[in-house]
């Protein structure tokens, strides 16, 4: 299948086409992240699962577009862009900010009659758990130090002043989106939900992670792996296995 619909082409990247895969896994990046963060996962899951990665504006091949600073502003166009891909079961995977965007997309798809077959949340507290975040209202040095402390970014990036200058607007917009998100109460999802977290993640407490359970009426799994906020970079095999195990046999929306 080749999707040439303009919104799909703008928002969705497919690195490893898998025409015989019964399920597509849509991956949502973290704050400051991009679609290519999931290239390794696409390679690991193909050909059994076809990975689609979301590309937010303001970075990589969309660097000339203004970034979007709200979760709703990201989720709404992504949900629309995914409709042409819904001829197979859609599972969603989000890391950090991406978990919240994925959750809101899952709710939108459900409301449109294309409920996802599974949701994987990673490195983010449950939507219903509110907490103050510093958002984008900090100086550049503080923002960059925070990024460095969490890991997940090649340290050499921070030594390139021009690259940092180009990346900062998107990073600030992403952090603002995370900080200003407010959960809208509604019925839980009807698909299985898996929460993955790093044992030493300073951003997500065990209670924050467990609270995801209230957002599904189906099966819930909580997986804690060694590592910090970007545990999934070090625990790639375990993450791949968790996804594969839970997608086996899931081919239709729930």
Pick the closest to residue 192 from 247, 119, 121 (CA basis). Answer: 119
Is 229 annotated as catalytic? yes
* Helical H segments across 83-181, by residue range: 97-111, 140-150, 161-180
Is the bond into 48 cis (omega within 30 degrees of 0)?
Answer: no
Q: Which of 30, 34, 95, 96 is catalytic?
A: 96
Ordered domains of the chain (ranges, CATH): 6-247 (3.40.50.1820)
What per-residue confidence (pLDDT) applies to 254? 42
Is 30 annotated as catalytic? no
What per-residue confidence (pLDDT) applies to 184? 96
What per-residue confidence (pLDDT) applies to 31? 92
What per-residue confidence (pLDDT) applies to 131? 79
What per-residue confidence (pLDDT) applies to 3? 56
What per-residue confidence (pLDDT) applies to 1? 47
Q: What does each of the 254 residues of the chain score in pLDDT, given as a tens digit?
A: 455 566 788 999 999 999 999 999 999 999 989 999 999 999 999 999 999 999 999 999 999 999 999 999 999 999 999 999 999 999 999 999 999 999 999 999 999 999 999 999 999 999 999 877 765 567 777 777 777 777 766 667 677 778 778 888 999 999 999 999 999 999 999 999 999 999 999 999 999 999 999 999 999 999 999 999 999 999 999 999 999 999 987 654 44
Residues in the chain: 254
CA distance 79 to 109: 6
Mapped onto helix, strand or coil, the DSSP state of residue 229 is: coil
The β-bridge relationship of strands 118-122 and 49-54 is: unpaired
What per-residue confidence (pLDDT) applies to 253? 44
Strand boundaries in the chain, DSSP class E: 12-14, 23-28, 49-54, 89-95, 118-122, 193-198, 220-225
Q: Which of 30, 114, 215, 229 is catalytic?
A: 229
Between CA 127 and CA 134, with CA 133 as vertex, the angle to 5 degrees is 155
| Token pair of 244 as six digits | 């594969």
Q: What's the predicted TM-score (pTM) here?
A: 0.92
DSSP character for 46?
T
């Amino acid at each position: 299948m080749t999707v040439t619909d303009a919104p799909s082409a703008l928002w969705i990247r497919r690195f490893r086409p898998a025409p015989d895969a019964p399920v597509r896994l849509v991956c949502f990046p973290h704050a400051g992240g991009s679609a290519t963060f999931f290239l390794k996962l696409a390679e690991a899951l193909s050909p059994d699962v076809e990975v689609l990665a979301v590309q937010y504006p303001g970075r990589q091949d969309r660097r000339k577009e203004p970034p979007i600073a709200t979760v709703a502003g990201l989720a709404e166009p992504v949900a629309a862009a995914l409709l042409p891909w819904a001829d197979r079961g859609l599972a969603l995977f989000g890391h950090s900010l991406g978990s919240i965007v994925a959750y809101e997309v899952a709710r939108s798809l459900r409301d449109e009659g294309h409920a996802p077959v599974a949701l994987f949340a990673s490195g983010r507290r449950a939507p219903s758990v509110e907490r103050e975040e510093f958002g984008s209202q900090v100086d550049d040095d503080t923002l960059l130090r925070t990024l460095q402390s969490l890991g997940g970014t090649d340290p050499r990036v921070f030594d390139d002043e021009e690259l940092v200058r180009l990346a900062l607007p998107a990073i600030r917009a992403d952090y603002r989106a995370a900080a200003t998100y407010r959960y809208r109460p509604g019925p839980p999802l009807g698909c299985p939900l898996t929460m993955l977290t790093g044992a030493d993640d300073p951003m997500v407490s065990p209670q924050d992670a467990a609270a995801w359970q209230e957002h599904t009426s189906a099966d819930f799994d909580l997986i804690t792996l060694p590592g910090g906020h970007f545990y999934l970079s070090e625990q790639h095999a375990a993450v791949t296995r968790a996804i594969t195990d839970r997608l086996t046999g899931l081919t239709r929306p729930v």
